[in-house]
Every structure is written in structure tokens, then in C-alpha cells.
């Protein structure tokens, strides 16, 4: 976990079960053995605690699951006419749109071009997947319906622009 824990401020956390952590690093007398880059910064720690309070008080995990399910359905419906070449999947608000070429192979080059078009539209997305064939969407947990609608519109518009070339 990293900056998501603080809403963007540099802080990192390494989390695992006792069994995993004991196997991964030798027993410590207090010093973090894995890193010291963002170790224990008071401001970062305070921000992380505040972020965790917000996640709980606003029930953002449940809200993101609900919003994400609706947005996933919308995106799947919007891209359904493209057939097997566009596959939309997601969990919560984390979405992935995989592009395949006409032969059914991953189309990373098309995803990179799509990401560049979306950046020109003011939308920051990243290619991911083994071959860069998945357009990753990871909006903030507080995204509103109007922003999701705007993102959907931009996704479809820029995809159509690319597929017409």
C-alpha cells in the first residue's frame, strides 16, 4: 500500500499476515527492515489515520462497490456493440477495458493510443496487463455520478475515434 493510504501524501505500508511477515523479514527490534523511504513521517501517519477514519465514516468501500457495479454495467452496455474486441471488467471502482485485435490477440498498441487520446480529453488512465492490452481505470472513491457519466462519454468517443482510423 502506498499513497492511497494518505490520499496522495508519500507514505508506504507493508501489510501481511504474521506468518508471511515473519518469513519475509528477520525479526526486528523496532526498525522497519523492508524500507525507510517514507518511514514513520508524522504528517503522513496523521494523514493515513484521517484517511482510514473517512473510509469508515463514509462507508466508502461499500459505496465504491455499489457505484462500481452500476458503472461496470453501463460500460459493458455501451461497449457491447463492439463485440468480442472490447471486454469490460471490474471490481468496485477499479475497471479494466481489454482490447483485442481482429484475430483475438491482445492489442496493447491500440490501448496506448487510446490512453493518449483520453489524456488529451483530460482523463488520466494507464495501459496495464501483460501486453499493455488493458486500459485501467481507477477513479477516486468519492467520484460522483456526473464524473462517471463524463468518463463514459469520453471513453466511448475516443474509442470510436481510434477505431475509425
On whether both 25 and 96 belong to a single domain, the answer is no
pLDDT in tens, 101-130: 999 999 999 999 999 999 999 999 999 999
Neighbours of 27 (CB within 10 A): 6
Q: Which three cell numbers stand for residue 135?
A: 486500459
pLDDT band at residue 15 using 50, 70 and 90 as cut-offs: confident
pTM reported for the whole predicted model = 0.79
Chain CA centroid to CA 123, Å: 13
Same domain? For 11 and 40 the reply is: yes
What domain range includes position 23? 3-57
Query: 156 is written with which cell numbers?
Result: 466511448
Last residue of a domain, one of 18, 37, 57: 57
pLDDT score, position 33: 60
74 and 87 assigned to the same domain: yes
pLDDT for position 85: 93
**CA 151/CA 43 separation, integer angstroms:** 33
Amino acid at each position: 500500500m502506498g499513497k492511497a493510504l494518505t490520499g496522495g501524501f508519500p507514505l508506504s505500508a507493508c501489510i501481511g499476515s504474521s506468518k508471511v511477515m515473519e518469513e519475509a523479514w528477520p525479526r526486528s527490534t523496532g526498525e522497519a527492515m523492508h524500507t525507510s523511504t517514507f518511514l514513520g513521517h508524522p504528517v503522513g501517519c496523521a494523514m493515513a489515520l484521517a484517511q482510514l477514519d473517512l473510509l469508515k465514516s463514509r462507508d466508502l468501500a461499500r459505496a465504491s462497490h455499489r457505484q462500481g457495479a452500476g458503472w461496470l454495467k453501463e460500460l459493458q452496455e455501451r461497449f457491447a456493440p463492439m463485440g468480442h474486441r472490447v471486454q469490460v471488467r471490474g471490481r468496485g471502482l477499479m475497471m479494466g477495458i481489454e482490447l483485442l485485435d481482429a484475430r483475438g490477440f491482445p492489442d496493447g498498441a491500440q490501448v496506448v493510443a487510446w490512453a493518449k487520446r483520453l489524456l488529451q480529453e483530460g482523463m488520466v488512465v494507464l495501459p496495464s496487463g501483460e501486453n499493455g492490452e488493458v486500459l485501467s481505470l481507477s477513479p477516486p472513491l468519492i467520484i460522483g455520478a456526473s464524473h462517471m457519466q463524463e468518463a463514459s462519454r469520453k471513453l466511448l468517443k475516443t474509442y470510436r475515434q481510434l477505431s475509425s482510423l
